[in-house]
Structure 1
């Protein structure tokens, strides 16, 4: 709007010019609506999302991103992505990915990155990045979507470990059964004796597995190993005196200890303290030393049974106790036969 003047410079009227800006307003409103729409989507998506400009400065970071990666600013707009958090995003593979998007216009899908974050720990991520064209010469934006696959990868690794461990345990168990069968059959004088001995040893092996299964095969407590193994041989009260602290044994050591105790019980029931009503067995252990020098002192001693004769040959049970158990515990195992009964002493490192 401008004044209209005469030749002598008097205002004689006003000139009004009208411009139709309907389309411009409509376009501006549409752009604003689109921006609000896009920002709403970014905020509500559950996966972490970032919108960056060409300078890699944050335009929008949704809540999922800020929570997962401990970015505490309510809206870190204007900050370089490499400055977010404690600088962990200053990652060479991520720089390479964003450079390809900015310079070459490439779309990147499922680009894997491993990174340690000070507050949220180690993360395995799949990144997808692409450019977002803008109208009317506005700077292009870069959309970065992040999928946290840390738990998925950890579960996959755990599954692989479990399969390998299961395979190892099955092979070991079959080897133990094969050894039990071979030794039992070679030393039994009758088929009935072989059947009974073999069945008894398999039952004890199964019970030892039950103890480990209750502990998810992470090991077993020596108190549980001892009580579960000797209970079937108790035959009444006060046959066993059990004293000792809680000691954690690994799976293989727990199985070996259980099998050895079963052999000691079997021998005691046939020839030793458990073959008479007055016989008793004391099972006592303690820990000595501390730290890496800590050791387990374990004693099985029989008394009150018939006089014990020293065996003329060593059978499967003796070899299992003195050799296999000692090897599994990386210690020493000795079995002696006193007139009062058999004595088994175990000394093993227990760091």
Structure 2
């Protein structure tokens, strides 16, 4: 009963000077408006505040403002309010300048808010009013933009490292300017195709099958020449770029000297994710019916690039040079990326 008497007095503070018309005006305001007395008890709670916090006014009027504040901020909030009410002069200011301000809904969910505080002496006591705007959706969008910007910057750094390696090694191995140009441009195109796939997707992953099909598309003059077999595996951005370079080297060599250089040549690419091992992609590249194969007498740039690209990510590539065709066994750890949804 004593609490109800206090609640009645608190309500009189706002209703007496303004009346029913004021309450009607408050109900039309799009921002939440919440007022408390000097003890922190809520004496005004408009319709927008009900929508923001999920409470009806009857549920909160007379109760503590703590219901709208995350528990871990209760002490700090009371200290801030006490300092704000240390003077009787009217004052208005933004709440939490330079930091994110959080509220708490009835269901316990926290929300980002923008708030303006004002104080006024009414009926001999401090009345604190806060005008509240729910900015949770905007904050979520801002965090998403920051995440995307960080991801783009990260990819750019990685790509520039790869580009520097490609240019350096290509220059070292090339026998002529024309050979250097062709090698560099071809490898840059492989990176470009992968980045296009990453950018066009809805996530930061890209399909391994998409990488294969994109790299081998120029050589698929009929469906029987190239066979691709395996589940649709998602690769993260770094792994995708590494594998794109590896696939480009294998495809280029096959087109110049191997199975893709003749009409009778065939290429099979099989891949899987073994269930009895840590998550990794297991790829088998096997050429057949191409020109007679002889093992290389020295390690070329392609082999060095393949080893470097995969090694950075903990992967390996073992090449074989049987007379019937070049083979390559690739293993690359996966960073938790699951098969893509069908």
Do structure 1's residue 240 and structure 2's residue 195 form an aligned pair?
no
Structure-to-structure mapping, 1:133-144, within 5 angstroms: 133-134=121-122, 137=123, 140-144=126-130
Residue in 2 aligned with 1:60?
44
Q: Using the alignment, how far apart are the partners of 2:82 and 2:287 within structure 1? A: 78
Q: 1:301 aligns with which of 286, 296, 312?
A: 286
Do structure 1's residue 95 and structure 2's residue 78 form an aligned pair?
yes
Q: Looking at both structures, which has the greater relative contact order when contacts are Cα pairs under 8 Å and sequence separation is at least 6?
A: 2
Q: Using the alignment, how far apart are the partners of 1:345 and 1:334 within structure 2? A: 5
User: Contact 1:61–1:75 (CA<8 Å) still a contact in 2?
Assistant: no
Q: Indicate the SS of the match to 1:104.
A: coil
Q: Indicate the SS of the match to 1:307.
A: coil
Do structure 1's residue 204 and structure 2's residue 187 form an aligned pair?
no
Alignment length (residue pairs): 317
Q: Using the alignment, how far apart are the partners of 2:159 and 2:73 within structure 1? A: 50
Q: Structure 2 vs 1, CA of residues 52 and 96 (structure 1 numbering), >3 Å: closer, same or farther?
A: same
Do structure 1's residue 130 and structure 2's residue 85 form an aligned pair?
no
Q: Structure 2 vs 1, CA of residues 85 and 116 (structure 1 numbering), >3 Å: closer, same or farther?
A: closer
RMSD: 2.8
User: What is the CA distance between 1:261 and its match in structure 2?
Assistant: 0.5
Q: Indicate the SS of the match to 1:288.
A: coil
Residue in 1 aligned with 2:302?
317
1:1-59 superposed Cα distances (whole Å, 9 cap, x missing partner): xxxxxxxxxxxxxxxxxxxxxxxxxxxxxx85723343233322211111222332222
Q: Using the alignment, how far apart are the partners of 1:223 and 1:116 within structure 2? A: 46
User: Contact 2:33–2:45 (CA<8 Å) still a contact in 1?
Assistant: yes
Per the normalisation by structure 1, the TM-score is 0.80
Q: Indicate the SS of the match to 2:227.
A: strand
Residue in 1 aligned with 2:151?
165
1:160-195 superposed Cα distances (whole Å, 9 cap, x missing partner): 443343333333323322322232233222333222
Structure-to-structure mapping, 1:133-282, within 5 angstroms: 133-134=121-122, 137=123, 140-216=126-202, 218-282=204-268
User: What is the CA distance between 1:325 and its match in structure 2?
Assistant: 1.6
User: What is the CA distance between 1:344 and its match in structure 2?
Assistant: 0.9
User: Contact 2:259–2:288 (CA<8 Å) still a contact in 1?
Assistant: yes
Residue in 2 aligned with 1:110?
94
Unaligned stretches of 5+ in structure 2? 1-14, 337-342
- After the TM superposition, which parts of structure 1 deviate over 6 Å for at least 4 consecutive aligned residues? none
User: Contact 2:206–2:236 (CA<8 Å) still a contact in 1?
Assistant: yes
User: Contact 2:85–2:126 (CA<8 Å) still a contact in 1?
Assistant: no
Between 1:260-269 and 1:337-346, the stretch displaced more is 337-346
Unaligned stretches of 5+ in structure 1? 1-30
Per the normalisation by structure 2, the TM-score is 0.82
User: Contact 2:310–2:332 (CA<8 Å) still a contact in 1?
Assistant: no
Between 1:259-268 and 1:69-78, the stretch displaced more is 69-78
1:56-115 superposed Cα distances (whole Å, 9 cap, x missing partner): 222221122222222245563222222x36974972222123223444346352222335
User: What is the CA distance between 1:275 and its match in structure 2?
Assistant: 1.4
Between 1:232-241 and 1:144-153, the stretch displaced more is 144-153
Q: Using the alignment, how far apart are the partners of 1:44 and 1:312 within structure 2? A: 83
Q: Structure 2 vs 1, CA of residues 342 and 72 (structure 1 numbering), >3 Å: closer, same or farther?
A: farther
